[in-house]
Amino acid sequence: MKKIQIIAFISVLLIIFSFACTEKKKPEKITLHLIETSDIHGSIFDYDFINDKKANTSLSKISSYINNLSVDENVVLVDNGDILQGQPVVYYSNYENIDEEHICSQVMNYLDYDAATVGNHDIEAGHTVYDKLVNEFNFPWLAANAINTSTGEPYFKPYTIIDKKGVKIAVLGLITPGIPKWLPEELWDGIEFIDMVESAKEWVPKIMEKENPDLFIGLFHSGYDYTYGGVNYDTPGNENASLIVAKQVPGFDVVFVGHDHRTWNETIKNINGDNVIIMGPKGNANQFCVAKVDMALNENEKYDKSFHTEIIDVSPLKTDQEFTRKFENQINEVKKYVSHKVGTFEKSIDAHEGIYGPSTFVDLINTIQLDISDAEISFAAPLSFNATIEKGPVYVRDMFKLYRFENFLYTMNLSGKEIDGYLEYSFANWFNTMKDENGHLLLFKSDKNGNPLYAEKYQSYRLKNNYYNFDVAAGIKYTVDITKPDGDKVTIHSLTSGEKFYKDSTYIVAINSYRGNGGGGHLVNGAGIPEDELNEHRISSTEKDIRYYMMQWIEEKQNIYPEDRNEWSVYPIDWWEKAKKRDYKLLNK
């Protein structure tokens, strides 16, 4: 009996010894290259499918940089969301070529990503798309604060552990919680998006205790500027809470940010006085972030770390030709798709006109929205800063110029008073109150003296607010007086039909889903409708995105003569004419 016990004991020891031998020993010294891409927006290949030309920036160029790093340089490659919207190549995979493996799965698996975080525009693609990608990706898609309402657990994986030669790297993913304000509930049904700080305070201690990582990365699809949109440090559910999390929740070595399409590269102190690196790149594959980490084991068996960080501009890099050859068939298939003729425009239209006042470009969007919805009034904005559709044949690719986002089209019941408040809000965030004819029409970011501020970082003057929130109305006749104060600039004279417009009457309004869910603040802050009552005003929603119905509308009519609706004007006219010429020069330097 004793002999059997001894043999059993020796067997157990051998198993323990064998297991111990298979564990990776931590290296005394190691250098890691942490590479973040973010907000790629479909800019995968070195071809611009919208403008039918070579692309200056693309994931294929970033691939060439990665390939030039040797295998010994221990690359950790992560993506920070918003890859599923933008270029037609992803639209095609999202909604047209749905039976094949998604192009993002093919590309990102090929590039051997280690982890990614979900972005709001990835959720915009809808359950069918992002649920499919979760299964197709060879890496985890993260979002700890996107909670499955049925289980109370994260809908996506909350974090992942990456092992590089025995070094344990934790990556926590968080998504901006503002999604319910921008997207129809149908797209995120069954998911609750909770505050990022709240979620990080729950998960970071868990990860530290359970995993004891050597390096901790935050991968947050959320911006740096927590004051964006008029909120502050303490606003619950802040859209851009990355800096707040980095400060308030100790544990992170590096926090990669995204969503805001702005360049960030700095070191801050958290509440414990520890350094935290914060990095983020411009969108559309214009930049990516690299954090080189030199790690050395100290006497306490912990790593001392030193960082060298840089933001790399993609344009000067060479395209990875092997990458392009690998996906040549897919590229050609999408080229064929976007080259399908939809109709013919008898007149060129330019989105940039809409930055300064009435424009044929925005009028066409409103005309189509009114026609396909049977609404009485329509709201629309220029969704592109510089997009032109030339006179002549119009192709599928041009539809991405005419309408940039995959918004749905809602109809909503709004009172005349709410419509007036909506427009007042739009123009208060768009037009300056001019004191004389030498003033500025547009609201610019300004210095302490109120003069437009030249941004060296962007080599241009910058508008105070985003142009895609410069909504105008169709279906009513109105004037905008730029000498009047905010809240008193707009005078609505009548419906376009000539019928009287009443503040206490209710009208059926066509509006995109981003705006209809509270995006931009026009309905909540302008019309004065409480956020939780917006759905009560909704009458209907399209089943597909607005662009889909625009294509159908143009295909049905074939020959389109885009016309000015001539429903609104700016006064005093001579002040407006002089000011818009002056401001045009500032914006187009």
Which residue in 280, 215, 282, 265 sits closest to 33, CA to CA?
Answer: 215
Same domain? For 383 and 449 the reply is yes
Terminal C-alpha separation, the chain: 92
Q: Using CA atoms of 526, 528, 533, 538 in order, give the dihedral in degrees to the nearest 10.
A: -50
The verdict on residue 520 lying in a domain is yes
Q: In this structure, what token pair is assigned to residue 94?
A: 């999202």
> Both 352 and 219 in a single domain?
no
The answer to whether residue 210 is domain-embedded is: yes
What is the helix (H) or strand (E) element at residue 99, kind and residue range?
Answer: none
Q: What is the pLDDT along the chain (589 residues), one digit of tens a residue?
A: 444 554 545 454 444 444 444 456 889 999 999 999 999 999 999 999 999 999 999 999 999 999 998 666 799 999 999 999 999 999 999 999 999 999 999 999 999 999 999 999 999 999 999 999 999 999 999 999 999 999 999 999 999 999 999 999 999 999 999 999 999 999 999 999 999 999 999 999 999 999 999 999 999 999 999 998 888 999 999 999 999 999 999 999 999 999 999 999 999 999 999 999 999 999 999 999 999 999 999 998 999 999 999 999 999 999 999 999 999 999 999 999 999 999 999 999 999 999 999 999 999 999 999 999 999 999 999 999 999 999 999 999 999 999 999 999 999 999 999 999 999 999 999 999 999 999 999 999 998 888 898 887 667 899 999 999 999 999 999 999 999 999 999 999 999 999 999 999 999 999 999 999 999 999 999 999 999 999 999 999 999 999 999 999 999 999 999 999 999 999 999 999 999 999 999 998 6
Would 331 be classed as within a structural domain?
A: no
- Asked if residue 479 and residue 520 are part of one domain, the reply reads yes
Question: Which token pair is 158?
Answer: 């909350």
Q: Are residues 258 and 156 in the same domain?
A: yes
Of the residues 289, 319, 349, which one is the last residue of a structural domain? 319
Q: What is the CATH number of the domain that holds 154?
A: 3.60.21.10
Residue 135 is classified by DSSP as H
Q: How far apart are CA 125 and CA 142, in angstroms?
A: 16
Examine the domain organization and report whether 267 and 394 are in the same domain. Answer: no
The CATH number given to whatever domain includes residue 532 is 3.90.780.10
Residues 59-116: tens digit of each pLDDT: 999 999 999 986 667 999 999 999 999 999 999 999 999 999 999 999 999 999 999 9
Residue type, 1: M
Residue at a domain's end among 286, 319, 352: 319
- Host domain of residue 425: 340-587
* CA 225/CA 371 separation, integer angstroms: 39
Would residue 25 count as lying in a domain? no
pLDDT, position 202: 98
Taking only the tens place, the pLDDT of each residue in 468-489 is 999 999 999 999 999 999 999 9
- Of 250, 285, 319, which marks where a domain is finished? 319
**Average pLDDT value over all residues in the chain:** 94
- The residues pairing with 559 across neighbouring beta strands, listed in sequence order, are 344
Residue 27 lies in a domain: no
Q: Cα-atom radius of gyration of the chain, to the nearest Å?
A: 27
- Residues 386 and 311 occupy one common structural domain: no
**What is the pLDDT, as a whole number, of residue 119?**
98
Question: Residue 577 to residues 481, 482, 488, 532: CA-CA distances in angstroms?
Answer: 13, 12, 21, 41
Domain shared by 312 and 428, yes or no: no
Whats the size of the chain, residue-wise?
589
- 160 and 123: one domain? yes
d(CA 187, CA 429): 29
Asked whether 355 and 464 are in contact (CB, 8 A), the reply is no
Q: Are residues 374 and 484 in the same domain?
A: yes
307 lies in the same domain as 380? no
Q: Is residue 105 part of a domain?
A: yes
**Sequence-separated (6 or more) residues with CB below 8 Å from residue 483:** 433, 434, 435, 571, 572, 575
Same domain, 350 and 283: no
Task: Let me know if residue 326 belongs to a domain.
Answer: no
For residue 528, being part of any structural domain is answered with yes
Are 555 and 477 part of one and the same domain?
yes
**What are the angstrom distances between the C-alpha of 107 and each of 104, 207, 324, 363, 585?**
5, 30, 10, 38, 41
Q: Which two tokens stand for residue 19?
A: 């297991």
Q: What is the DSSP letter of 100?
A: S
Domains identified in the chain, total number: 2
Residue 20 is predicted with a pLDDT of 44
